[in-house]
């Protein structure tokens, strides 16, 4: 969750930081970790939270790992800027539940 929040904190970034190779590789790594974490959530738990696009999250992870040559940097950045803040909000809500299935 902390990695997703740090990544989301760069919303609206443009210019030098976004154009650096180091930043992009860090962005890809963070997306990989988020997707890997999503893939470890049980099918039962995923079914409890159909509003979270589990399949898309995991699919994005697979894309950046296995088809990294064709990853469009702008699309990936747009995904982080547009989709990640909402995902963070959804996950924080789930994590605030007393007996949430994500931490048990």
Range of the domain at 76: 2-95
**Whether 73 is catalytic:** no
Could you tell me if residue 57 is inside a domain? yes
Question: How much is the pLDDT for 4?
Answer: 57
Could you tell me if residue 77 is inside a domain? yes
Structural domains of the chain, count? 1
Q: Pick the catalytic residue: 25, 40, 66, 73?
A: 66
What pLDDT digit, counting tens, does each position of 69-85 carry?
888 888 888 888 899 99
Question: How much is the pLDDT for 71?
Answer: 84
Could you tell me if residue 103 is inside a domain? no
**Its pTM surpasses 0.85:** no
Question: How much is the pLDDT for 19?
Answer: 61
**Whether 66 is catalytic:** yes
Could you tell me if residue 104 is inside a domain? no
Could you tell me if residue 26 is inside a domain? yes
Q: What share of the chain in percent tops pLDDT 70? A: 81
Q: 87 Cβ partners below 8 Å, 6+ apart?
A: 4, 52, 53, 57
What pLDDT digit, counting tens, does each position of 4-32 carry?
566 556 555 555 455 677 888 888 899 99
Q: How distant, in Å, are the alpha carbons of 26, 44, 57, 104 from that of 40? A: 21, 11, 12, 13
Q: Pick the catalytic residue: 29, 40, 61, 73?
A: 61
């Amino acid at each position: 969750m902390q990695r997703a929040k740090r990544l989301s904190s760069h919303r609206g970034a443009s210019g030098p930081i976004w154009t650096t190779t180091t930043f992009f590789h860090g962005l890809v790594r963070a997306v990989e970790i988020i997707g890997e974490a999503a893939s470890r959530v049980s099918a039962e738990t995923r079914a409890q939270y159909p509003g979270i696009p589990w399949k898309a999250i995991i699919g994005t992870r697979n894309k950046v790992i296995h088809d990294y040559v064709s990853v469009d940097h702008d699309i990936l950045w747009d995904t982080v800027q547009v989709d990640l803040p909402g995902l963070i909000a959804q996950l924080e809500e789930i994590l605030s539940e007393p007996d949430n299935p994500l931490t048990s």
